Amino acid sequence: MRTYSQRPSDISHDWHLVDASNVPLGRLATTVAQLIRGKHKPTFTPHMDGGDFVVVINAEKVRLSGRKMDQKTYFSHSGYMGHEKHTPVRRLLAKHPDRVIEKAVFGMLPKNTLARQKLRGKLKVYAGGEHPHEAQRPKPFPIQASKVGV
């Protein structure tokens, strides 16, 4: 029996709608990363772009467990000595809630050029409940909120 390898003609991309309200950030990021990579499909091939498009709405209502809202920071560096920046997640979530989810999903993807292409083209994140992708008719994809603390 031969190993199945997906061909470009076999690939079909679906659209999924994920509601991030009251869902833990890590659980949301792992689920979205699997959808973008196509690991939920039986035809998954690591070197092919067989993943689906994902529209995430209500990014501002994502939940962080524990004291992450106060303690978690995002690090960036300009390249010059002493020019490092630590941005608290509370400030980034208030200003750009879409970036918090994009950074979390990017951390779940493999570090290669295919992952960067997938993240740039396949992930659409919106702070509110409205999105401009109604024409694609995305299917709702349920994510279970954790049992503890809900």
Q: Is residue 4 part of a domain?
A: no
* CA separation for the pair 91, 104 (Å, rounded): 16
Determine the pLDDT at residue 148. Answer: 56
Determine the pLDDT at residue 13. Answer: 93
Q: 45 lies in which domain range?
A: 13-140
Determine the pLDDT at residue 3. Answer: 84
Q: Is residue 109 part of a domain?
A: yes
Number of domains in the chain: 1
Q: Is residue 146 part of a domain?
A: no
> Which residue in this structure is represented by tokens 């994502």?
62
Q: Is residue 108 part of a domain?
A: yes
Determine the pLDDT at residue 47. Answer: 87
* CA separation for the pair 150, 132 (Å, rounded): 31
Q: pTM for the whole thing? A: 0.89
What is the CATH classification number for the domain harbouring 89?
Answer: 3.90.1180.10
Written as tens digits, the pLDDT of the chain (150 aa) is: 888 888 888 899 999 999 999 999 999 999 999 999 999 999 898 888 889 999 999 999 999 999 999 999 999 999 999 999 999 999 999 999 999 999 999 999 999 988 888 888 999 999 999 999 999 999 999 987 766 554
* CA separation for the pair 20, 37 (Å, rounded): 19
